[in-house]
Amino acid sequence: MRIVRTAAGMLLLTIGLPVLLVGGALWTAMQHRDGEGAFSGRIERITTPGHAVVVPDLDALLRRDAPFTRARDTRLRLTARTESGPALVGIAPAEDVARYLAGAPYAQVDRVSLTAGPLPVAVTPVAGTAVPAAQPAWQVAGTGAVGWGSSEVRGQRLALVVMHPDASAGMTVDLRVEVRPGWLAPTMWGLLVAGAVLVVLGMATLAWPARRPAPTRPATLADVLTPPVPVPAQPVERPRTGWAAPTPMPVRPILAWPPHPSVAVTPAPLPASAAVPEPAGPASTGPRTDRPPAGEPALPETAEPERVGPDLPGSADLASALGALGTGSRSTRRRKTAAGLPTDHTVPSVSPPTAPRTRK
């Protein structure tokens, strides 16, 4: 991309600089116009013993020595004056002029050089002894000066004749030419603008900053190793539109007692220390009579039989709690029956057997 921009910029500069220089040259030339806006120049004085000063082919002379005067919208004006006064200037077909001056002496202009100061001319004298007769049919004619457009003589073989109005011999003539190119100002401005634009574009193209390449990191072992073969992606099955899997219902815990009705609870025996005390009887004020009298040996006490109770520790508390609930509830009675407990309202108390008492 950088090479393309450089080539384009150089091409634009190669075209734009000459165009700009030509436009500048035309602008410089326009500064030499006279007050009336025309480029004027004096031709060297021409002296001849003949009857006229003749340009045999006007369009060929302009094409060879002053080609810019043949461009369109260009007007030319020739002013001629002799020592006796204004001269006759006429333009006619070359064949008619040749017949008119046949055998008469005159001066033939072959070349005009464009230089600074008076314009030098190359003149060739033509000898003769005859006197011109009747004048030809002039296409353009005037006394003292004559003007014409470049389009009027372009491509035609016309002759320009300068002589005394009475066609007398011997003359010294002063000529002055004025050129008014109507195309010069538009061409100058067009070249200046186009050249400036091309030069600016060429310089901008050359000065356009190049894109900096991204910094490259040094090669590592991962860059040298062969990259792993990519695993083909597995197609993902999308759920059908409008169908969704059912949401499972939450599981609620069973808060029932006992945990499972099929499990039977076997009552465990109560320890001996958990004997139920005797019910309180009538208060006695005397001493106890169950003790043996003094001097008699004490009878051995009979061991207290074990109580039959639940197999599980703490079942007495469970029985008390269930008894406190009462028997009015059917579920409560079923639970007591499953646990092997009585279904009355109160838990029966078991009293250990007492030994026989001996009275005095």
pLDDT tens digits, one per residue of 348-357: 444 555 555 5
Let me know: does 107 contact 124? Beta carbons within 8 Å: yes
Give Cα 335 to chain centroid, integer Å: 86
Instruction: Provide the percentage of residues in the chain whose pLDDT is more than 90.
Output: 25
Give the per-residue pLDDT at 209: 75
Let me know: does 269 contact 340? Beta carbons within 8 Å: no
Q: Provide the edge-to-edge strand list for the sheet that holds 140-143.
A: 121-126, 106-112, 52-55, 158-163, 88-93, 140-143
DSSP 8-state symbol, 119: B
Mean pLDDT of 231-255: 64
pLDDT over threshold 50, residue 95: yes
Mean pLDDT of 252-275: 55
Q: Which residue has the tokens 């000065």?
A: 207
Longest dimension (CA), the chain: 219
Mean pLDDT of 92-104: 91
| Nearest residue to 313 (alpha-carbon basis) of 274, 261, 263 | 274
The answer to whether the Cα torsion of 30, 34, 38, 40 is positive or negative is: negative
CA–CA separation, 13 and 203 (whole Å): 7
CA–CA separation, 18 and 232 (whole Å): 64
Q: What is the pLDDT of residues 15-59, one digit of tens each?
A: 999 999 999 988 888 888 877 778 888 999 999 999 999 999 999
Let me know: does 27 contact 184? Beta carbons within 8 Å: no
**Cβ-proximal residues to 72 (8 Å cutoff; 6+ apart), any chain:** 150, 151, 182, 183
Highest mean pLDDT among 8-17, 223-232, 239-248: 8-17
CA–CA separation, 325 and 331 (whole Å): 11
**Coil vs helix vs strand at 40:** strand
pTM: 0.50
Reported as a pLDDT band with limits 50, 70 and 90, residue 275 is: very low
Q: What is the DSSP string of 201-227?
A: HHHHHHHSPPPPPPPPPPP-HHHHSPP
Give the per-residue pLDDT at 36: 76
pLDDT over threshold 90, residue 114: no
Mean pLDDT of 150-161: 89
Who has greater pLDDT, 332 or 50?
Answer: 50
Burial of 246 (0-12, 13-18, 19+ CB in 10 A): exposed
Amino acid at 181: P
Give Cα 104 to chain centroid, integer Å: 84
Amino acid at 218: P
Tokens for 195? 């050249």
CA–CA separation, 133 and 103 (whole Å): 11
User: What are the angstrom distances between the C-alpha of 140 and each of 59, 65, 132, 175?
Assistant: 14, 22, 19, 17
